[in-house]
Amino acid sequence: MAFVIMAAFFAIAPPTAVHAFDIPDDGGGAIRIEWRLSEADSQLTRYEIYRSDNGTDYEKIGIMGRGRNLFDDETEDGKQYYYKVVAVFDTLKSFSDPSSPAMSSAQWLNRKKINIIIAVITFGGLILFFIQHARHGKSLFVRRIAGLQAIDDAVGRATEMGKPILYCPGIGYIEDIATIASLSILGEVAKKCGQYDTKLINPHCDPIVYTVAREIVKESYTDVGRPDAFDPDSVYYVTDSQFAYAAAVDGIMLRERPATNFLVGWFRAESLILAETGASTGAIQIAGTDQVSQLPFFVTACDYTLIGEELYAASAYISREPLLLGAIKGEDWGKVIIGAILIAGSLIGLLTVFPILNLFE
Amino acid sequence: MKRNLPLLLVFVFGVLGIIPFIIPHPAVQTTDEFLRNNLLKILAAFALILGLGSLLRVHMDKIRRKGQNWEYSWVLIGTFAITSIIGLFGGVSGTGILPTRIGNFAFDIWTIYFNVEVPLGAAMFALLSFFMASAAYRAFRARSAEATLLLTAAFIVMLGVLPLGNDISPHLPSFAQWIMDVPNVAGQRGILFGVALGMLATALKIILGIERSWLGGGGE
């Protein structure tokens, strides 16, 4: 009798409006359960979530703390599930009404990425437009990039001094765009080395990058009519360990004393170790990376630095191929659009109540 | 054919690389995972054989020519042989057919990695502090208006994060934080916009076969 009175006295309001639904824009296998908190939420011990696949037999599948009203359940796609949420206070439990049935399924489009898709299509379209524009023979102006302008001088200097050129592509993998851009520049540098008969040293940190680089250098020597000048041992693999690679490249700098060091590609903490060692040998240093955190080190210790996008523009700049230059023009227009959106968005955000930031989520 | 096949492969796999970003369906995600994790590992294994072959060839050649510091090439070849034998026959943590423990002294690959390679890497990393000091000296020489501005900003930021900065002026820490949060972040974001667009353009050029320098030469 006393227990019944106590239970009645402490009767707790159950959670309400339990809503189960397939999580949108996912690969399936999950249902989200949301509920309105119990009116006695602040007094509760926890919430328990129960699941049934027939609407009658429920089993506990999870617990959530008070104040929480959302739970993601792992499910089997194509199967219906019912859910109940239970408010628990000590040993007392108060069950919600069951949710309507929910079924998980895999989606074919992630709608959260539609804004990114629109942006990519817009900028991709711009780039293709200017490539097409260039295909029709329209001349395109590209501003002077000091680091790339210096490549000729750097190779010439090495030739005059009878010293080699060191080309370090960083520690990136072949899927890194910076590494691919670096390999494009390597091809151009190798051509000049072939023309001037200057020794090229090209140590690598990744075996796949090494094999690609070896082919590029070989082709470049062939392109300038000097296949005989290609030394297969000038391009070699060292190690995939970051600091062992840095130690090896430092050793090359100190032993071989290259006249020019190219540090172009994807770098991490080893950037300063390499750049400072190179600077101490008196070599001309041309660096380039898209890693913002490493750029200050290169700017400080190197003679020329390709900053971010300049690295990607290098191939077009050196080869002067109209189609590649067209892509740079497209990038510039992309930046104009981004700038305009930033200014317009800032003004709308400051001067109106329109939730402009929601468009970019 | 020699040119067209790689270009076709790049186009197909480039497009296959974009699709999983917008399609979350398991059929697409599983294929992507297979390409990235399994196929790439197989390719890497073959490339590693080529890479190690090149490394050994370079050092053997150096020994033959008696090049500068050629003795160290023996160290590389010797340690390469020893760790290869231990790794291949002793297993990763001493579970192979080769015994990798004498009493309490273990010499399996994990032990070698954690007791030799990791400390050596840490030692190289530690050098960074000395290089940072010399680079800072180089950067902070007030030889131009930009360098002076850099020096001033760095001085304020350094003072701002010290207790001394707060003693000089209670506004100094918040001003230092403002330098980090506003002009610094603005500059970084400006670079990142360019990087993102550059990546997009480079990826498009490669997938569409416009940029071919990665093929070597770049001609038809």
Structural domain boundaries in chain B: 1-67, 68-139, 142-210
pLDDT at A338 over 90: no
d(CA A118, CA A127): 14
pLDDT at B99 over 70: yes
Average pLDDT over chain A, rounded to an integer:
90
Contacts of B3 in chain A (CB under 8 A): none
* A208 with B43: Cβ contact below 8 A: yes
What's the rounded mean pLDDT across residues B129-152? Answer: 83
Nearest to A180 among B21, B69, B202 (CB): B202
Q: In chain A, pLDDT over 90 holds for what percent of residues?
A: 63
Contacts of B202 in chain A (CB under 8 A): 177, 180-181, 312
Q: What is the pLDDT of residues A293-321, one digit of tens each?
A: 999 899 989 999 999 888 988 878 887 77
Nearest to B25 among A27, A131, A214 (CB): A27
Q: What is the pLDDT of residues A182-211, one digit of tens each?
A: 998 999 899 999 999 999 999 999 998 998
- The minimum CA-CA distance between B191 and chain A, rounded to whole Å, is 6
pLDDT at B2 over 50: yes
Q: What is the pLDDT of residues A148-164, one digit of tens each?
A: 888 888 999 999 999 99
Instruction: Work out how many CB contacts closer than 8 A connect A with B.
Output: 211
**Chain A: residue whose CA lies nearest to B30:** A27
- The minimum CA-CA distance between B173 and chain A, rounded to whole Å, is 23
Indicate the pLDDT class of residue A3, thresholds 50, 70 and 90.
Answer: very low
pLDDT at A5 over 60: no
- The minimum CA-CA distance between B98 and chain A, rounded to whole Å, is 25
* B54 with A236: Cβ contact below 8 A: yes
Residue A282 vs residue B95, higher pLDDT: A282
- Residue B75, pLDDT score: 94
Contacts of B58 in chain A (CB under 8 A): 233, 236
Contacts of B199 in chain A (CB under 8 A): 177, 290, 312
- Residue A325, pLDDT score: 83
Nearest to A225 by CA among A250, A194, A199, A251: A194
What's the rounded mean pLDDT across residues A273-281? Answer: 94
CA distances from B18 to A183, A349, B12, B14 (A): 22, 33, 10, 7
- Residue A335, pLDDT score: 85
**Chain A: residue whose CA lies nearest to B124:** A243
pLDDT at A222 over 80: yes
- Residue B157, pLDDT score: 93
**Chain A: residue whose CA lies nearest to B213:** A184
- Residue A221, pLDDT score: 93
Nearest to A231 by CA among B51, B2, B220, B57: B57
Indicate the pLDDT class of residue A4, thresholds 50, 70 and 90.
Answer: very low
Packing angle of the helix pair B185-207, A309-319 (nearest 10 deg):
50
Alpha helices in A162-206 (DSSP H): 177-196
pLDDT at B220 over 50: no
* A127 with B52: Cβ contact below 8 A: no
What's the rounded mean pLDDT across residues A88-112? Answer: 93
Yes or no: say if A159 and A197 are a contact pair by the CB < 8 Å rule: yes
What's the rounded mean pLDDT across residues B152-174? Answer: 92
Residue A329 has which token pair? 């023009």
- Residue A21, pLDDT score: 96
Span between the terminal Cα atoms of chain A, in Å = 57
The domains of chain A, with CATH numbers, are 2-103 (2.60.40.10), 112-128+324-360 (no CATH), 142-320 (3.40.50)
Q: What is the pLDDT of residues B30-79, one digit of tens each?
A: 999 998 888 888 988 888 898 899 889 989 999 999 988 889 999 999 99
Residue A122 has which token pair? 């817009």
* A273 with B124: Cβ contact below 8 A: yes
Indicate the pLDDT class of residue A132, thresholds 50, 70 and 90.
Answer: confident
- Residue B1, pLDDT score: 67
What's the rounded mean pLDDT across residues A135-155? Answer: 83
Contacts of A313 in chain B (CB under 8 A): 198
Contacts of A181 in chain B (CB under 8 A): 198, 202
Indicate the pLDDT class of residue A170, thresholds 50, 70 and 90.
Answer: very high
